[in-house]
């Protein structure tokens, strides 16, 4: 014979699940519409005004993205962090408090900025942090508006070992020069023994991405066989996009 209390608890649990699931599914569909409309495939997404974090978490469509949610209200930050953590997404999705009208990023870093309300953030500030070909997707008067940041003509690509198919190792790039700041950093932190092949070689770039061959074998011993792969990252923020074993 079933306990009468269990007969009461089970329907309540089912009702709670039914109440939660529609919200999560709606945010997932909204995230899919945003990514489809903007055409951003991988990279760094910033969600301004992240609320309870549900849409922020849903924007992490796969492992080719990093998502950063921003909120001005401390209670919303705590609530969003709790939600993201409950989904075991914290790390790939992070939440921070926005305390001023300046976005906390270096120039030309972000691939997609999503906001239903920018608050005190100016459109110029959004364009500052967007990488070339990055997208601002802002809700205005009930409609979503898409703005794409253009790619400057003075930024060139390096698609072959010697610049391009012509073999002339001179690129028409006037932006490249001595380092002025740290744009991003990524693994491997340590390279393998310098008496053998370099850990990273064959670096090329195209369409805002860099591609390189990397040996991810342990740096402590060259007796261990190399683990070579072809890796792709976003050129402006270093977000890992994909890897193929060689």
Helix/strand/coil for 62: coil
Residue 17 has pLDDT above 60, yes or no: no
At residue 58, φ and ψ (nearest 5 deg) are: -70, -25
Q: Which comes out higher in pLDDT, residue 137 or 199?
A: 137
Find residue 245's DSSP bridge partners: 229
Give the pLDDT score at 128: 98
Q: Count of CB atoms within 10 A of residue 30's CB?
A: 15
Q: What is the pLDDT of residues 175-217, one digit of tens each?
A: 888 888 999 999 888 888 777 778 888 899 999 999 999 998 8
What mean pLDDT do residues 110-135 have? 97
What mean pLDDT do residues 135-139 have? 97
- Mean pLDDT is lowest, of 1-10, 166-175, 223-232, for 1-10
Give the pLDDT score at 235: 97
Q: Which comes out higher in pLDDT, residue 101 or 224?
A: 101
- CA 43, CA 235: separation in Å to the nearest integer? 10
- CA 105, CA 130: separation in Å to the nearest integer? 9
For residue 241, which of 40, 29, 89 has the smallest C-alpha distance? 40
- CA 81, CA 90: separation in Å to the nearest integer? 8
- CA 243, CA 210: separation in Å to the nearest integer? 12
Query: CATH code for 27-148?
Result: 3.40.50.150
Place of tokens 């992490």: 60
Give the pLDDT score at 22: 62
Q: What is the pLDDT of residues 44-77, one digit of tens each?
A: 999 999 999 999 999 999 999 999 999 999 999 9
Q: Which tokens hold the place of 1? A: 């014979």
149 in Cβ contact with 132 (< 8 Å): yes
Q: Which comes out higher in pLDDT, residue 13 or 111?
A: 111
- CA 61, CA 58: separation in Å to the nearest integer? 7
Write down the domain spans for the chain: 27-148, 200-245
């Amino acid at each position: 014979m079933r306990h009468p209390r269990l007969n009461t608890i089970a329907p309540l649990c089912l009702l709670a699940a039914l109440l939660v699931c529609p919200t999560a599914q709606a945010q997932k569909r909204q995230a899919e519409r945003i990514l489809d409309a903007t055409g951003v495939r991988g990279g760094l997404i910033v969600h301004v005004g992240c609320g309870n974090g549900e849409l922020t978490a849903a924007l992490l469509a796969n492992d080719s993205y990093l998502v950063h949610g921003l909120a001005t209200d401390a209670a919303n930050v705590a609530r969003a962090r709790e939600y993201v953590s409950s989904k075991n997404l914290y790390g790939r999705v992070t939440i921070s408090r926005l305390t001023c009208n300046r976005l906390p990023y270096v120039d030309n870093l972000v691939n997609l900025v999503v906001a239903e309300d920018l608050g005190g953030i100016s459109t110029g500030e959004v364009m500052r942090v967007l990488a070339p070909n990055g997208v601002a997707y802002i809700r205005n008067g009930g409609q979503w508006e898409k703005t794409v940041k253009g790619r400057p003509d003075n930024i060139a690509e390096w698609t072959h070992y010697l610049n391009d198919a012509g073999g002339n190792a001179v690129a028409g790039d006037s932006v490249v020069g001595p380092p002025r700041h740290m744009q991003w950093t990524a693994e491997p932190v340590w390279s393998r023994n310098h008496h053998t092949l370099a850990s990273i070689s064959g670096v090329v770039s195209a369409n805002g991405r860099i591609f390189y061959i990397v040996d991810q074998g342990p740096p402590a011993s060259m007796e261990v066989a190399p683990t070579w792969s072809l890796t792709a990252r976003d050129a402006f923020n270093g977000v890992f996009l994909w890897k193929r074993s060689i």
